[in-house]
């Protein structure tokens, strides 16, 4: 039976606390060890993986998924999976550099974390796709672009209809 990532994180914290208690550590030291092991840097990876898994379960046609990644997909004429992975990595590196230069110049970064989150998610999704279903990439891109065209036409029709209603 597979455990969830959260269960594994909690179990890792309990094991760390038990190790401290075995070596006759105080209750405070055991509590600190449990908290540190449970909420270690790996928790951020677990959260990212859970978020990506939820997005993958929804599918490419889900409105939230389309809205979240439309700007990234629409701007770039991507033809292959490797090109998409390379582009996503370059965009992530450029964003990291922009954030670093903002910190160096101003002492803080006012850029949104949402962009980095989206780029991390895209990188993980593309790596998963390369590993498990590389032949599906072209079909997915076609589906996403087709659904964008369908929704764009629907928006144009409803906009024209709204103008006609406004004139009447």
Give the structural domain span for 79.
60-167
**In-domain check, residue 148:** yes
**In-domain check, residue 12:** no
Instruction: Quote the crossing angle between the two packed helices 5-22 and 42-58, to the nearest 10°.
Output: 160
Q: What is the pLDDT of residues 18-64, one digit of tens each?
A: 989 888 888 888 888 888 887 777 777 777 888 888 888 887 777 77
**In-domain check, residue 3:** no
Kindly state the average pLDDT of the residues 68-91. 80
Q: Smallest Cα–Cα separation from 34: which of 12, 56, 3?
A: 12
Instruction: Quote the crossing angle between the two packed helices 113-132 and 81-106, to the nearest 10°.
Output: 160
Token pair of 82 as six digits: 């490797």
Instruction: Count up the domains in the chain and report the number.
Output: 1
**In-domain check, residue 51:** no
Q: What is the pLDDT of residues 107-158, one digit of tens each?
A: 777 777 777 888 888 888 888 888 888 888 877 777 766 765 555 444 433 3
**In-domain check, residue 84:** yes
Distance CA 152, CA 108 (A): 38
**In-domain check, residue 27:** no
**In-domain check, residue 103:** yes
The CA-based angle 162-165-166, given to 5 degrees, is 85
**In-domain check, residue 95:** yes
CA atoms within 13 A on the CB side of 167: 5
Q: Is 60 exceeded by the pLDDT of residue 94?
A: yes
Q: Smallest Cα–Cα separation from 69: which of 123, 138, 27, 17?
A: 123
């Amino acid at each position: 039976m597979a455990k969830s990532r959260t269960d594994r994180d909690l179990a890792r914290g309990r094991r760390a606390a038990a190790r401290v208690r075995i070596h006759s550590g105080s209750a405070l030291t055991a509590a600190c060890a449990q908290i540190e092991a449970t909420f270690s840097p790996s928790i951020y990876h677990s959260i990212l993986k859970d978020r990506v898994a939820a997005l993958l379960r929804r599918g490419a046609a889900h409105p939230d998924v389309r809205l979240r990644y439309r700007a990234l997909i629409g701007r770039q004429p991507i033809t292959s999976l490797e090109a998409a992975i390379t582009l996503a990595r370059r965009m992530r590196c450029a964003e990291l550099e922009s954030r670093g230069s903002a910190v160096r110049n101003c002492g803080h970064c006012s850029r949104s974390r949402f962009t980095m989150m989206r780029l991390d998610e895209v990188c993980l999704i593309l790596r998963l796709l390369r590993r498990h279903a590389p032949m599906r990439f072209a079909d997915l891109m076609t589906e996403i672009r087709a659904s964008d065209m369908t929704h764009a036409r629907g928006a144009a029709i409803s906009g024209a209809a709204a103008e006609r209603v406004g004139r009447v």
